[in-house]
Each structure stands twice: as structure tokens, then as C-alpha cells.
Amino acid sequence: MESVIKRKLTGDELNAIAGQAFNQVTTAATELTDGWANAAYLVELEDGRSVIIKAAPPAGTKLMSYEQGLMKAEVEVLKLVKQAGTVPVPSVYAHDVSESLVNCEYFIMEKLDGEPYNKVKGSLTEQERNQIDYQLGVYNRHLNQIRGERFGLYAADEEASASWRESFHRLLLGILADGESEGVRLPAAYDAIRSEVALRLDVLDEVTDPRLLHWDLWDGNVFIKDGAVEGIIDFERALWGDPLMEHYFSHFNGSPSFLEGYGMGELTPQQRGRRALYDLYLDLILLIECPFRQYDDLNHLKWAAENMEQGWKRFLEVSFE
């Protein structure tokens, strides 16, 4: 997705980064355009290796309230998950926040050999998709078994909380404040949405154990090789929270094989209530982020608005008892 906040790197800048990290020059570089915020490049080195260089938006770029310390979180969580050894993730080779070479934070990671799941899914058989979904469920559960000491965004220590209810409510209110600041039109008045949400927060009280969440684990962040999950990427929005918030539990998915692999049965009324709050949160982000990214794709803007309208209706229809 093209976004004006991306920090594009020149060939000279990529050469400087590769030189500092590997004492080599680049022989080829290709921008990877699938990301929404960070710029990413596939870079070939003179010894034949290929790596990925990701560049964060420059300091001072206007971001949403929850988008703080994204690259730091991604690097640290990749290392944490790699150390745990139960979920395949690429290795991190370097991370530079000094802005001595380029005026932005960047890091270098291992290039995976496979392709994003969203790009190959249509060419796979139903059996192959089911096998991959099952495997993804197993990996997602392993990821969620990593425990934390507080709730909240991984990169936001200053907003750490011992209460999931308090932490999630803060996140959702932050998104609404972002929308108000940009004049984003929602299906209901902002105060009405706040009031409806406040009436339903009790269901979050049963979550008392902070678990590591990828949260953005959609098909585009899953790499497939030889019909299996090769690796998982993009942990920049990781947080400590309720595993039920993971993307594959959202209304955008519904894979029985994933649920089987994860070990999740039919949701209880309380769990359905929690999931409704998480779906609303995601639908809000997908619409409110549009002016921050300054997207010019009219089809995407139309889709985001329609998805939010449908999401609000779904939220109001869910029983929280």
C-alpha cells in the first residue's frame, strides 16, 4: 500500500547501510510495496546473500496514538520469539537508531525464501490451506504462551497497566481521539460510541494473564514455502494482552482448521463479548488510519468506510451476557 509517511531510501543510502552492517556493497535493490507504514527493501549483497532493510518514518512524522516505538517493538519481539524457539521468525542482523547514516531508524533482517500467504492462497488446494491454517493455529498458540508482566503495547512502557480492561479501553479511546482530530466520520457520534463501549467493558475483567500478541497476524504476514509456514513477520504492533484479540479470531477470518490447531472450541458468551470489542477496535483503526497515511486509493477508502458501518452494526447486535 502506497503511503506518504514511508521514508524512501536511495541507492546510496542502502549502500551505506549495507557497508556499515556487512562491509559490502549492494548489487541490486527492490522496494517491497506491501507494507503500510515502514519502507522495506530486498537488497542483494556482493557475496550473493539477500537481506531485508526496513526504514521507519522520520522522527516527527504524524502517526496514530498507538503507533509509537513500532520498529523498536518489532526488533525486540523478533528477538524474543526467536529465543523462545517455538515459532519461526527471521533473524535480526542489525538495528540502528542513531540516524548517523540516514535520518531515520532502520533495521536489517533475514530474507525468507517463501511467499506471503495472501499471494499464494488462491493457488493452493483446500487441503493445503487447511494444513497451513492448522499449523498457523499451533504457532499462534505457542506465541501467545509467552507471558508478560503487564498489559499494553509492547513499546509503551509508560502506559503499562495491571488491568487488561484499563489498558484496552485506553487503546480504543486513543483511536477515537485520533479520529476526532482528523475529522473522520463514523457511523455514530463519537460520544455515543464511547458510551456503548463503556457499557460492555465488564467482559474484559476475566483476562488477568498478560500474553504476547502479534495482533497483526493476517495472511500477508505469514510466509509459505513448500506448502508449510516458513516464518511470521511484522511484530511492530505487538502487545501484552488477551490472545482472543489475535487477527485470526476476527470477523475477517473463520478458519475451523486454525481454531483446531490453536485448540480453541466454541466461544463462551463472555468471549464473544470480548471479541466484539476487539472487532470494533480493528474496524475503527482501518478507517481512521486513512487520513494519517493519506491514502489515495478510492476503492480502499470506500471499503474502509463500508466495513466500519457494517462493523458498528455487528457490535450493537452482539449479546454481552
- pLDDT at position 6 is 76
Segment 266-276, tens digit of pLDDT: 999 999 999 99
Categorize the per-residue pLDDT at 200 as very low, low, confident or very high, splitting at 50, 70 and 90: very high
- pLDDT at position 110 is 98
Distance CA 59, CA 294 (A): 18
Mean pLDDT of 102-110: 95
Please state, for a pLDDT cut of 90, what percent of the chain lies above it: 84
The answer to whether 205 touches 165, Cβ cutoff 8 Å, is yes
- pLDDT at position 59 is 76
Does domain 11-110 match CATH 3.30.200.20? yes
- pLDDT at position 161 is 80
- pLDDT at position 38 is 85
**What is the SS3 assignment for 76?**
helix
DSSP 154: T
Average pLDDT, the chain: 93
pLDDT at 143 over 80: yes
Categorize the per-residue pLDDT at 62 as very low, low, confident or very high, splitting at 50, 70 and 90: confident
Mean pLDDT of 218-233: 97
pLDDT at 153 over 90: yes
pLDDT at 42 over 90: yes
Q: Any idea where the domains of the chain sit in the sequence?
A: 11-110, 115-317
Segment 1-39, tens digit of pLDDT: 455 567 889 999 999 999 999 999 999 999 998 766 788
Distance CA 318, CA 25 (A): 56
How many distinct helices (H) and strands (E) make up the chain? 9, 11
- pLDDT at position 35 is 66
Question: pTM score, two decimals?
Answer: 0.93
Categorize the per-residue pLDDT at 320 as very low, low, confident or very high, splitting at 50, 70 and 90: confident
Which residues contact residue 86 at a Cβ distance below 8 angstroms, ignoring those fewer than 6 apart? 139, 142, 143, 145
pLDDT at 294 over 90: no
- pLDDT at position 3 is 53
pLDDT at 175 over 60: yes
Segment 154-172, tens digit of pLDDT: 987 666 688 999 999 999 9
pLDDT at 68 over 90: no
Cα–Cα nearest to 221, from 57, 1, 31, 35: 35
Mean pLDDT of 253-259: 94
User: What is the dihedral angle through the alpha carbons of 261, 263, 267, 273, rounded to the nearest 10 degrees?
Assistant: -80
pLDDT at 262 over 80: yes
Assign domain 115-317 one CATH number from 3.30.420.10, 3.30.420.40, 3.90.1200.10, 2.60.40.10: 3.90.1200.10
Mean pLDDT of 219-235: 97
